Structure 1
Amino acid sequence: MDHHVGRPRAERARQLADVLRQQITDGAFADGVLPDERLLGRRFGASRNAVRDALALLCQEGLITRRRGVGTTVALSKYGHGLDRLTGLGEELTGRGTVTNEVRAAEEVPVLPAAIAARLDVPAEAGGVYVERLRWLDGLPLSLDTSYLTADIGRAVLVGDLADRDVFGLIEEAAGARLGRAEVAVHAVNADPGTAELLGIGAGAAVFALERLTRLADGRPVDVESIRIRADRMTLRSTLHRGGPV
């Protein structure tokens, strides 16, 4: 019997979809196969119609697929990336998947775009280095990463192994110092046709747009990144701590 039976069917389905989505992203279905509708209904105290509607919503999101004779399966394994740690993708996924990098651009830029120069706190005429990489995880496209680096750090990064290493490690070697912190903003955008083609998704599909400004330990900004991440392949996670009164 449905909980909140007085609520509209569409609302009950959405609530159940929210619960199932959390379970899927937490890896509750280790083999990638969801129980049948009847069992899900018993587990969540929901009618079969509500379960069917909830599963339809998750299908529309691309999170699951449903096929007669096969059942309901998770479309793709999602990987977690912690937003509360300053780590590169390769570092984050060590032991959990194989990351490869397709270097699409790696070049010096004589004049930085004004907005980028302002974020790096250098004159536009100081120039810098532009790096664009298409990042693959276990043979499927995961993200399109673009970086503008300050000229001194960037030139050293250019001669590094951009195909097999995280940029963060190359920056630390170039600077002879550790990275300190980064400011991150994440929003959802509809992929433009070019980005969608590179990532292997439909034009207009939702992707995470992650903008990050990374600084050395002394506070100096060295790297402005714009990252487009396939939302069907990655879950962005963070542990937040509630502070005391200000």
Structure 2
Amino acid sequence: MPAERTREHTAPVAAARRRRLRADRARQLADLLRRQVLLQGFPAGLLPHEDALGADYGVSRNTVRQALDLLRAEQLVERVPGVGTVVVGAKYPHGLDRLMGLAETLHEHGRVTNEVRTMAPVPAPAPVAERLRLEGPNTDVLYIERLRRLDGLPLSLDLTYVPMDVGIELLNADLENTDIFRLLEEITGQPLGTAEITLEAVNADAHSAAVLQSPRGAAVLMLERLTHLSDGRPVDLEFIRFRGDRITMRGLLHRSV
């Protein structure tokens, strides 16, 4: 009897472990396939048959199906009857190893346009005044909110704070078609130097989700960036919300010795 009870308890545990291991393998396979999808590694955007993928990666057909289900949930691939699994989504690369505007970064992928939703002088909140090294809280800054699109597709919502002595010149600038980085260099007469960045995932609030046409509560990539002129002066504080399903961050990192 004890042996029978032991088998009764261990059988469900073993089955659960097998399911977990299959889910682990499916996630690992999805990670490998995702890179090929994003780098356009499948001819004509058509993935190999499930059996071929299983043979190539040494996994079962069920594992392949689970991996493809994960990519379908990300809206990167879709199952087309009579055709197979095809690539239907794309992500655009945003470099993290150079200080560039979005239009400069994505110029090979289409045309970036900016819808200026808000632009007005506002009293600087204390954290903004501190980061921009202003005289103190409530010193006026220029606040800009822009919806940025790539070939008409909503890509990011940018909230920007600029010191007023520089921002006053932006009021009449062509922000609809020009990266703010280029305008800042023209206005100040010096190149941009460095930027401090923080990248994290946050849930989209109702306003951001509506503007980006993203599901409410969906994760977005939040890039906080404080940009300095070449003389070290902080001149641009931005909070950029990227649609996580349309952008991928890339960079080349060097290990210092």
Q: So what's the TM-score if we normalise by structure 2?
A: 0.88
Q: 1:47 to 1:167 in 2, by over 3 A?
A: same
Q: Judge which range, 28-37 or 118-127, deviates more.
A: 28-37
Q: Percent identity?
A: 53
Picking from 83, 89, 96, the partner of 2:96 is: 83
Picking from 56, 62, 83, the partner of 1:43 is: 56
Cα distance in 2 for partners of 1:29, 1:187 equals: 30
Provide the aligned C-alpha RMSD in A.
1.7
Structure 2: runs of 5 or more not aligned: 1-17
Q: 1:41 to 1:242 in 2, by over 3 A?
A: same
Picking from 63, 80, 88, the partner of 1:67 is: 80
Which residue of the partner structure matches residue 33 of structure 2? 20
Q: Judge which range, 220-229 or 125-134, deviates more.
A: 125-134
The yes-or-no answer on 1:197 pairing with 2:210 is: yes
Cα distance in 2 for partners of 1:204, 1:155 equals: 36
Q: SS where residue 174 of structure 1 aligns? A: helix
CA contact under 8 A between 1:13 and 1:53: conserved in structure 2? yes
* Correspondence list, 1:1-246, <5 A: 8-29=21-42, 31-109=44-122, 111-122=123-134, 123-244=136-257
CA contact under 8 A between 1:113 and 1:124: conserved in structure 2? yes
Q: SS where residue 12 of structure 1 aligns? A: helix
Shift of 1:77: 1.6
CA contact under 8 A between 1:36 and 1:71: conserved in structure 2? yes
Shift of 1:212: 0.3
Cα distance in 1 for partners of 2:255, 2:92 equals: 26
Q: Judge which range, 19-28 or 87-96, deviates more.
A: 19-28
Q: SS where residue 41 of structure 2 aligns? A: coil
Q: List 4+ stretches of structure 1 deviating above 6 A.
A: none
CA contact under 8 A between 2:125 and 2:138: conserved in structure 1? no
**Cα deviations by residue, 1:103-154 (Å, 9 ceiling, x for unpaired):** 1011112x10111111101122331101111011122100001100011111
Flag the structure with higher helix content: 2
The one-letter amino acid of 1:99's match is V
Q: Judge which range, 196-205 or 217-226, deviates more.
A: 196-205
Q: How many pairs does the alignment contain?
A: 239
> In terms of Rg, which structure is larger?
2
CA contact under 8 A between 2:221 and 2:243: conserved in structure 1? yes
Cα distance in 1 for partners of 2:28, 2:246 equals: 23
The one-letter amino acid of 1:91's match is E
Structure 1: runs of 5 or more not aligned: none
CA contact under 8 A between 1:25 and 1:235: conserved in structure 2? no
Shift of 1:61: 2.7
Shift of 1:6: 11
Cα distance in 2 for partners of 1:169, 1:18 equals: 37
The one-letter amino acid of 1:202's match is P
The one-letter amino acid of 2:137's match is A
